A = this chain, B = another copy of it.
Amino acid sequence: MVKTGVIGLGYWGPNLLRNIYGNKRSVDLVMCDSDPARLERMKLRYPDVSYTSDYRNLLNDSNLDAVVIATDVSSHYPLAKEALLAGKHVFVEKPFAASISEAEELVDLGKSNGLVTMVGHTFMFSPPVIKTKEIIDSGELGDIHFITSNRVNLGLHQKDVSVIWDLAPHDFSMLFYWLGEEPSRVSAFGHAYVLDGIPDVAFINLAFPSGAIANVQVAWLAPSKLRRTVIVGSRKMLVYDDTEPIEKIKVYDKGVDVIEPESFGEYQLTYRTGDIVSPKLPAGEPLAAEMEEFLNCVETGNNPRSSGMEGLAVVRALELADASLKKAN
């Protein structure tokens, strides 16, 4: 059993709290926020959960095993660091930290103290993303050539970070999970239209050691919501559209076959088109699976799917993309 403290009860924290509260590995859950109004609201909903307005009470509790941090990005690093130094396993919402160096230090602290660090890349626990990973790993798509991803919608402008830091963590965590590698190069192009200095549209290019490339489009300005990822492999192609209610994934048996010329002739190309299959996806709440992964890793010492290392890889790509975007303008 794991005793956890949840720090930060604003927009996202209550969702994490609810899923730890419902998890069979959780015991003596504590919730924490320095804002009394937020704390009051949660006390009404969870009258049987302990609470505190000072996170230091959590860190000083020698029975507490782990903390879950769902505060502003700027406080991820100091809170997580303090928790790790206090010997607590740590789950941090995405993005892991505000810079590469912060994220690296947290990963190191976790390792040297034998503590779990995990980052809330929830999509890595979502059924269509996991199914896509299975299909890729099975070799059905062949070598992955390139991936394009769209994550655009009208709304909600952040006032302190670019659209890259807001939306790209989703795509980056999925891409790196699927490909099993970090990009060797990242560049970005975009612009700030609504708020000065806060880019609200960005086109990000990534190159991977395997030879795969990717293009990620993120925007807070768009006529309609798009959540569409296309994976082009050497044997088949896959479309993952998260806005589809049912057919979220479609596998296209499509490709080009190159026929080697026997002697002096030209290469011959034949285009292959076969069935299209939309596989059944298992049911399952990604957040419940994510919290289960964290508590399980705390108990077993296993490395979580979205560990600090994965969180660091995402932060590294975010920082590179953001720097490239600034340079381009």
Using CB atoms and an 8 Å cutoff, list the residues of chain A in contact with chain B.
145-146, 148, 154-157, 159, 187, 189-191, 193-195, 201, 203, 205, 207, 211, 213, 215, 217, 219-224, 230, 232, 234, 237-239, 243, 245-247, 250, 252-256, 258, 266-267, 269, 271, 273-280
Determine the distance from Cα of A111 to Cα of B313 in the docked complex, in whole angstroms: 56
A237 touches B256 (CB 8 A): no
Cβ-neighbour of A148 out of B156, B217, B266 (below 8 A):
B217
Determine the distance from Cα of A150 to Cα of B269 in the docked complex, in whole angstroms: 23
- CB A273 to nearest CB in B, in angstroms, measures 6
B217 touches A223 (CB 8 A): no
Residue of B nearest to A157 (CB): B269
B193 touches A234 (CB 8 A): yes
Please name all residues of chain B whose beta carbon is closer than 8 Å to the beta carbon of A256 when the two chains form the complex. Answer: 154-155, 157, 194, 220-221
Cβ-neighbour of A189 out of B211, B213, B271, B276 (below 8 A):
B213
- CB A12 to nearest CB in B, in angstroms, measures 20
Please name all residues of chain B whose beta carbon is closer than 8 Å to the beta carbon of A278 when the two chains form the complex. Answer: 275-278
Please name all residues of chain B whose beta carbon is closer than 8 Å to the beta carbon of A280 when the two chains form the complex. Answer: 253, 273-275
Please name all residues of chain B whose beta carbon is closer than 8 Å to the beta carbon of A193 when the two chains form the complex. Answer: 145-146, 234
B276 touches A145 (CB 8 A): no
Please name all residues of chain B whose beta carbon is closer than 8 Å to the beta carbon of A201 when the two chains form the complex. Answer: 145-146, 213, 232
Residue of B nearest to A283 (CB): B273
A215 touches B194 (CB 8 A): no
Q: Which 9 A-B pairs have the closest CB atoms?
A: A223-B237, A223-B252, A276-B278, A189-B205, A203-B215, A145-B193, A274-B280, A221-B232, A155-B271
Please name all residues of chain B whose beta carbon is closer than 8 Å to the beta carbon of A189 when the two chains form the complex. Answer: 187, 205, 207, 213, 215
Q: With a 10 A CB-CB cut-off, give which of A159, A193, A207 has the most chain B CB atoms.
A: A193
Cβ-neighbour of A279 out of B154, B243, B275, B279 (below 8 A):
B275
A237 touches B254 (CB 8 A): no
Residue of B nearest to A271 (CB): B155
Determine the distance from Cα of A221 to Cα of B258 in the docked complex, in whole angstroms: 13
Please name all residues of chain B whose beta carbon is closer than 8 Å to the beta carbon of A156 when the two chains form the complex. Answer: 271
Cβ-neighbour of A238 out of B155, B223, B238 (below 8 A):
B223
